Amino acid sequence: MKENIQLTRFENGLTVLTDKMPDVRSVTLGFFYRVGARHEPAALNGISHFIEHAVFKGTEKRSALDIAIETDRLGGNLDAFTMHEETGFAIKVVDRQLPQAFDLLADLLVNPRFDEKELKREQKVIIEEIKMTEDSPEEYLGELFNEKLFPNHPLGLSIAGTPRSVKTFNRDVTQKFHEEVFAPNNLIIAAAGNLEHQQIVDLAEKFFNRKPKTKIQNPKIEDRKPEMASPIIIKKTRTLEQAHLIIATPFVAATDEQRYAADVLANALGGGTSSRLWQKVREEKGLAYSVGASAAMYLDCGVFSIYAGTSPHNAEQVLDISLKELRGVVKNGITTEELELMKAQSAASILLGLEDSASRASTLARLEMVHGRQISLEETLQKIEAVRMEEVRAVAEEFFQTEKIAFGALGNLNGLKVKRERLEI
């Protein structure tokens, strides 16, 4: 399928990637910026997320209402997001509507008005969004935990910022950061569906073939590699019905060749209904409705985490079962059956994603951001199939170590106390 992927790089750093899917009638068009919460100065924590919101408040030729009406006319399937390492805007439309969709998104991103009154209103909206996070135990624990896991580093800060930082994002501050950072050299335009590559290139040429007004001041990620801590955080909140638990360790980075084995390990432990944690905690013991494990892989580091929400009187047991499973994979690895199941699960997920233009567009952008090249389907499937049991165990041995274990708990904890020796692996 690689023959359907085409690439054009502009002199100003803009990258255009397309994946032609001639058998569909849709196109997903995405604008993905190599900028996120970790690239912000501490005083501007949350400004990328703020800009993600603010561009929808009007441009030189479209009001906020015009944007909303046009989005609905195109089908209403417009998504915008901010993460620690990227900010994205994507829309899925019928193929014949591609030029209109491009014009709309490009106008938002190139010509935002950043009206002072609108920005003031949006500050209030985002502060309410921050409050919503504080009312969601799982998200709130994640915020508290990350701050201690990545001390004195942007990865530990909230993507949305704080009420204090958000209130400082006036027109001058917002416009300056937008001009310096949301620039063509930080942009990947990725599209998948029933399209012609040259059409996307021509549209990109029209809107984005310009040089930045000012020199880009982005800090380099490789110069700011975080040093992860291993905190133990216990926050009692009697108003919550459940105890919410996180166990975390450092993990492989997105660029690490061990990433395929690491994915197998995370999925075997808690990636689905057949995983160890799901079966042991939920199916066999009935201790939790929500339990699982996941891996977050950044460009220069990673985090493996186990999450569970359980009744306060079950918290001790859930913690002990989770630690027992970590010890088990360090000592014995995973079984042949688990290895083959996880490989099959990963391959099926990738192949099913090929049917969706949105999945394919985001994959184009992600591979460009992380690896600087497109990794073929064949290479990916071969890498997954090549994972061996000893490689999975080696990842567990490297990262699941007592001194690297971090623990967090929030809620009515029923006297739960955790010291370092209890986390021994």
Q: Where is the domain boundary, 159, 188, 213?
A: 213
Which helix (H) or strand (E) segment is 327 a member of? helix 315-332
Per-residue pLDDT tens digits for 59-85: 999 999 999 999 999 987 899 999 999
Separation between Cα atoms, residue 112 and residue 105, nearest integer Å: 11
Q: Residues 152, 188: one domain?
A: yes
Query: Count of domains in the chain?
Result: 2
Q: Residues 207, 242: one domain?
A: no
The pLDDT of residue 151 is above 90:
yes
Give pLDDT, residue 239: 87
Domain assignment of residue 416, yes or no: yes
Domain assignment of residue 37, yes or no: yes
Q: Residues 265, 327: one domain?
A: yes
Give pLDDT, residue 221: 41
- How much is the pTM? 0.92
Lookup: tokens for 211: 């040089």
Q: Residues 308, 266: one domain?
A: yes
Q: Residues 257, 366: one domain?
A: yes
Separation between Cα atoms, residue 322 and residue 103, nearest integer Å: 50
Q: Residues 206, 257: one domain?
A: no
Separation between Cα atoms, residue 204 and residue 99, nearest integer Å: 11
Separation between Cα atoms, residue 49 and residue 174, nearest integer Å: 11
Domain assignment of residue 188, yes or no: yes
Q: Residues 191, 249: one domain?
A: no
Per-residue pLDDT tens digits for 250-271: 999 999 999 999 999 999 999 9
Give pLDDT, residue 212: 53
Contacts of 349 by beta carbon, 8 Å cutoff, 6+ apart? none
Q: Residues 203, 310: one domain?
A: no
Q: Residues 334, 289: one domain?
A: yes
Query: What's the pLDDT band for 415 if we cut at 50, 70, 90?
Result: confident
Per-residue pLDDT tens digits for 262-313: 999 999 999 999 999 999 999 999 999 999 999 999 999 999 999 999 999 9
Choosing from 52, 85, 86, 368, the catalytic residue is 52
CATH of the domain at 133: 3.30.830.10
Domain that holds residue 48: 2-213
Determine whether 390 is an active site residue. no
What would the DSSP string read from start to end of 206-270?
HHH-S--SS---PPPGGGG-------EEEEE-TT-SSEEEEEEEEE--TT-TTHHHHHHHHHHHH
Q: Residues 285, 173: one domain?
A: no
Q: Residues 203, 235: one domain?
A: no
Angle between helices 259-270 and 336-353 (to 10 degrees): 110
- Return the number of other C-beta atoms located less than 10 Å from residue 269's C-beta: 27
The pLDDT of residue 223 is above 70:
no
Per-residue pLDDT tens digits for 9-48: 999 999 999 999 999 999 999 999 999 999 999 999 999 9
Separation between Cα atoms, residue 340 and residue 94, nearest integer Å: 39
Query: What's the pLDDT band for 217 if we cut at 50, 70, 90?
Result: very low
Q: Residues 182, 287: one domain?
A: no
